[in-house]
Amino acid sequence: MMFYSLNNTQEKSNFKEAIFNSLAGDGGLYFPERINKLSVDFLNNISNYNNYEIGYEIMKNFVGNSINSSDLVDIIQKTLNFDFKLYEVEKNIFSYELFHGPTLAFKDVGANFLANCLEYYSDEKILNILVATSGDTGAAVANSFYNKKDINVYVLFPKNKISDYQERQITSKGDNIYPIEIEGNFDDCQSLVKRAFKDKNLRSQIRISSANSINIGRWLPQSIYYFILLKELSKININNKINISVPSGNFGNICAGLIAMKMGLNVNNFIAATNINDTIPRYFKTGEYTPKKTIRTISNAMDVSDPNNFPRIEHIFDNNFQALKNKIRAEKVDEEETKNQIKKTYCKSKYILDPHGAVGLVGLSRYNLKNEIGIFLETAHPIKFRDSITEILDVNIDDPLKLTNECGSHKIALKNNYSDFIEFIKQSQ
């Protein structure tokens, strides 16, 4: 499989080149040259396959012969070594829990896959991974890449804008993981990383790659759990039309779902649920793409005003704005609605939503399901947002990881300054 740049379809790379480069040489996002339809037989009998087999069936289409079959199976097994669970919170409304991985967030899937692929290709030359995080990505990447041979990881996170739990996860590793606290917001962190990738002088001196969802090795594996969802639904004999609400910040998760749809997943509608950082809902209403300054919310992983992956979504629909709006609804959910949904769901079913799942459920609730099935993605365990949730609910939340308050002392603080950032990377080589 080859991948082309969204800026120029003639600019192509194979899978290995694409995951090492992260962005094409012209600065464009990579996109698969083709999206293969899965066989009808596979989709109709998906309940007969285990998660590893499903993952392999998906990813072999993108990896091609860049990784031999037995090694790809091994990578998939290391990637999907945890459960994905459905929980019915009310009639025909299901939470799809993606947080049973090692850092309690859906990002574990993509981070695990990318880390294991890069390790597979290791050639004893130092590779520097640059990643901007609004919370969960940093923890997943730090965990997945920890102690990977010949790989250094630089995790940029905004000061005082991620949860205490997320920061402790990011800063507890040390060794080859370098957490960098930036004075600014997530978009500032993302801008520093983007600038580094456009810095030809830097790239001539050191090898860099990204573990953000701009990297196809982080983004595409997320398609797998949409097919695992199909399997879980078939187990409980649900064959109705499904509508999936995806809490959306950088739009990589919903974009992976759209890839799954192109591969044959039967989805009636997608709902892109954002918090008050509502660039995309406003774009759907006005046709004007106008990012504003990012506002801090309790669903901080979605505090993104200029989502990286949206150009890929437009490309999936051949830049046809009406076709895009026919398949995706974009819903803005404010803080009060988020908090009220957490209260309402707990009162009804004793189910504790995390703030991102709550945004997804509010977005879903605005859709008239009739006799259809509604799924919202629960992207992170509520323990990661314990302070916010315990202000809303009088509950104790058990920590599956038993993360202590003492964890998390490895970090460096930098201003939002590109020169300082690059100087630190060079000094740590």
Give the catalytic positions in this structure.
107
Cα(272)–Cα(250) distance, integer angstroms: 11
Q: Burial of 106 by CB count in 10 Å (0-12 exposed, 13-18 middle, 19+ buried)?
A: buried
Please answer whether residues 393 and 354 qualify as being in contact, where contact means their C-beta atoms are separated by less than 8 angstroms: no
Helix (H, G, I), strand (E, B) or coil at 277: coil
Give CA–CA dist 138/140, Å, rounded: 6
What is the CA angle 14-308-63, rounded to 5?
Answer: 20
What's the rounded Cα separation, in Å, for the pair 334 and 281? 12
Strands (E), 257-393: 269-274, 328-332, 373-378
Q: Are 170 and 153 in contact (CB under 8 A)?
A: no
For residue 245, what are its two tokens?
């609400």
274's tokens? 């954002």
Q: Are 207 and 121 in contact (CB under 8 A)?
A: no
H helix intervals, 39-94? 40-44, 51-63, 69-79
Q: Beta strands 151-158 and 127-132: pairing type?
A: parallel
Q: CB 295: neighbour CB atoms within 10 A?
A: 13
- Name the residue among 356, 427, 352 with its Cα closest to residue 396: 352
Burial of residue 394 (CB within 10 Å: 0-12, 13-18, 19+) is exposed
d(CA 291, CA 304): 9
Contact 139, 170 (CB under 8 A): yes
Quote the CA–CA distance of 143 and 401 in Å, as a whole number.
Answer: 13
CA distance 99 to 275: 20
CA pair distance 240, 138, nearest whole angstrom? 37
Calpha distance 120→327 (Å, rounded): 37
